[in-house]
Amino acid sequence: MKSSVNPIKRVYLHLEEWFNLSFGKEWNPLYHLGPLTFFFFWIALISGLYLYIFFNTTVEHAHASLETIVNDHVLGIGSLMRSLHRYASDAAIITILLHIFREFSQDRYRGTRWYSWFTGIPTLWMVVLLGITGYWMVWDELALYVSMSASHLLDALPIFSDSMARNFLPGNLSDRFSTLLAFLHLLGQPMFLIFMLWFHVKRLTHVEVSAPKGLAIGCLIALTALSIYMPAQSHAPVNLSKVPTEIHLDWFYLNIFPLLQYWSPGEIWLLVAGVTTFMLFMPWLPKKNEGTPAVVNLEHCNGCGQCVFDCPFDAISLQARTDGAKWKSEVIVHPELCAACGICTGSCPSSTPFRKKKEEGSLKTGIDMPELTLDTFKQQTDEVLGKLTGDNKIVAFGCKHGYDIEAFSAANVGTVHLFCTGMMPASLAEYALKNGADGVVISGCRSGDCYYRFGNHWMDLRIHGERQPALRPRVDRERIKILGGAEVDGKRLHKQFKLFHDSLTQKTATPSSATAKEVNHD
């Protein structure tokens, strides 16, 4: 049996389930945190461009020009755009922080995933710096507070010979400073952020950058409603001879500055450096061993590239054939990128239990996992089929990161464990049905939330005949049940399992039928 789920993951899984009930699996925002962040960036970009068209970047006129935009534009468009710019920026920070918590709680930041985590932390700080320069540009009392606080922090670094704070004394501030801020906020930082985001997802395939349309529209409506109900407002214009008495902080971006009331700038830098360093090296505290990478068997590989398309981590690529075979291409595995998920095995057209074995007596395929080969889990399936007794015999194939299928075990229910349901050839379900099983259960991670990103989704498409290598149309899909659940979903999964088990009593003893029917899916 699997060990019990850790408390942090349990909290997240229950939160995720509550969102599933509230929004549905397709629109659950926790499954689309990355695309939502991109969407909020687009809102901030479009609203920011609108504001910039009418914004005067000079020190003298910056605050007044923004007030004109907010108060005088027809139908309150200016106020709406300013508020959308503010709240979309805050929403991006929220989705980023949730994304970090999600990856940590699900243990999806170590092993081969260290790269995305390691590049994601600096990206977060770049977003924060982008927000700080945005507040600086308004040149109101909050901007003065930000500028003075930031100057004290910068003065603590051995970079500048003169004090940065002197630039904000009466008579010392020039328009060149505001021009520099405008360049940084409007061009320099966004361009660098785009580069960092590209770096962040470089080792991932099929990166989702667009949120589901319904979810995106709902978020836009929510932000618009918030902007109308509670429009963003500026503080009073800057008066360099007067100390502001009341400041309303945006805690998503400016949370570090109030510490200056209690700590020295050096202590704050030590805190920031310590937290950043700790987060950067979390993937190795401790290091995760993900197992032996996939191995290519060229004599069984025709270079079709399906495993290349299906690999979630860009660990497989195509190159020219090297063994003189008639095929033009062959696949190669990059071990340092391989997460040992086995999805490539399920993607290979040669991965079928119906193939005849070679003389050495083992079933081979084009690409395989040394620690759990196709031949091994085919033999495990045979052993399970041989032990089943009673009516409604079921073989359950389970993922090691989903609900523990051992809980389904019974005299008439046998279990086969896989690294990921995506490594299971769809034809293995047909094989089980043809060799004594009345039904097949495939139990992976929650729908839309595969530990290896796409394993359960690829399997779902293969069973439906929508992705190669697909389950043959003649297989009776009413005898196949696809479940998806985490460790805390036992009650729901057992109920669905029982309903499927009971439904088998209404069918004939024939393991498959000539007519393909819709697969049971939850």
What 3-state class would DSSP assign to 18? Answer: helix
Q: Of residues 509 and 504, which shows the higher confidence score?
A: 504
Number of domains composing the chain: 2
Query: Are residue 73 and residue 200 in the same domain, yes or no?
Result: yes
CA 60 to chain centre: 44
Chain mean pLDDT for the chain: 91
Confidence of residue 170 (pLDDT cuts 50, 70, 90): low
Q: How far apart are CA 156 and CA 263, in angstroms?
A: 12
Answer whether residue 24 is part of any domain: no
Does residue 153 belong to any structural domain of this protein?
Answer: yes
What does the pLDDT average to over 424-451?
A: 96
Q: Are residues 217 and 68 in the same domain?
A: yes
Q: CATH no. for residue 243?
A: 1.20.810.10
What was the pLDDT predicted at 1?
43
DSSP 231-292: -----PBP-TTS--S-----TTTSTTGGGGGTS-HHHHHHHHHHHHHHHHTTTBTTBP---P
d(CA 172, CA 166): 7
Residue 316 φ then ψ, to 5°: -130, 140
β-strands 394-399, 439-444 pairing: parallel
Cα separation, 362 vs 18, in Å, equals 46
Within-domain flag for 14? no
The residue with tokens 């008439």 is 412
Cis amide leading into 286 (omega within 30): yes
CA distances from 438 to 392, 410, 493 (A): 5, 14, 19
Q: Identify whether residues 250 and 344 lie together within a single domain.
A: no
Could you tell me the pLDDT band of residue 104, with boundaries at 50, 70 and 90? very high
Listing from the earlier edge strand, what are the strands of the sheet with 439-444?
A: 413-418, 394-399, 439-444, 480-484, 520-521
Among candidate residues 280, 275, 239, the one with its CA nearest the CA of residue 259: 275
CB 66 within 8 A of CB 82: yes
**311, HSE (Cβ side, Cα atoms, 13 Å):** 27
Mean pLDDT, residues 117-139:
95
Boundary (domain end) residue, out of 232, 256, 280: 280
CA 46 to chain centre: 25
Residue type at 285?
A: L
pLDDT score of 246 = 86
- Within 139-212, residue ranges assigned H as helices are 141-155, 175-183, 189-200
∠ CA(345), CA(346), CA(352), 5° rounding?
Answer: 95
pLDDT tens per residue across span 39-88: 999 999 999 999 999 999 888 899 999 999 999 999 999 999 999 999 99
Please give the pLDDT value at position 295.
97
Over 70: is that where the pLDDT of 185 sits? yes
Same domain, 322 and 215: no
pLDDT, mean of residues 27-37: 96
182 and 323, same structural domain?
A: no
Residue with tokens 């998503």: 252
C-alpha dist (Å) from residue 188 to 48, 223, 264, 408, 466:
15, 27, 30, 57, 44
Residue 516 has pLDDT above 50, yes or no: no
Long-range contacts made by residues 244-250, C-beta under 8 angstroms, separation at least 24? 244/141, 244/142, 244/144, 244/145, 247/141, 247/142, 247/145, 248/142, 249/142, 250/86, 250/90, 250/131, 250/135
Instruction: Determine, yes or no, domain membership for 18.
Output: no
Provide the domain limits for residue 452: 295-353+362-521
Q: Is the residue at 25 inside a domain?
A: no
- How is 318-382 classified by DSSP, letter by letter? EEE-SS--SSSEEEEE-TTT-----HHHHH-TT--TTSPP-TTS----SEE-TTS-HHHHHHHHH
My answer on whether 267 and 302 are in the same domain is no
DSSP state of 61: T
Same domain? For 272 and 315 the reply is no
SS3 call for 35 = helix
Determine the pLDDT at residue 167: 63
- Final residue before a domain boundary, out of 252, 280, 308: 280
My answer on whether 223 and 144 are in the same domain is yes
The pLDDT value recorded for residue 512 is: 45
Could you give the percent of the chain with pLDDT greater than 90? Answer: 82
| pLDDT tens by residue, 352-403 | 999 876 555 689 999 999 999 999 999 999 999 999 999 999 999 999 999 9
Could you give the CA distance from residue 503 to residue 391 in angstroms, rounded to a whole number? Answer: 12
Find the mean pLDDT for residues 23-35: 94
Residues 143, 262, single domain; the answer is yes
CA 84 to chain CA centroid, Å, is 25
pLDDT of residue 164: 66
pLDDT value at 513 more than 80: no
Same domain, 245 and 380: no
* pLDDT of the residue at 59: 85
Judge if 177 and 211 occupy the same domain.
yes
CA distance 458 to 425: 10
**Is 468 in contact with 462 (CB distance < 8 Å)?**
yes
Whole-number pLDDT of residue 171? 55
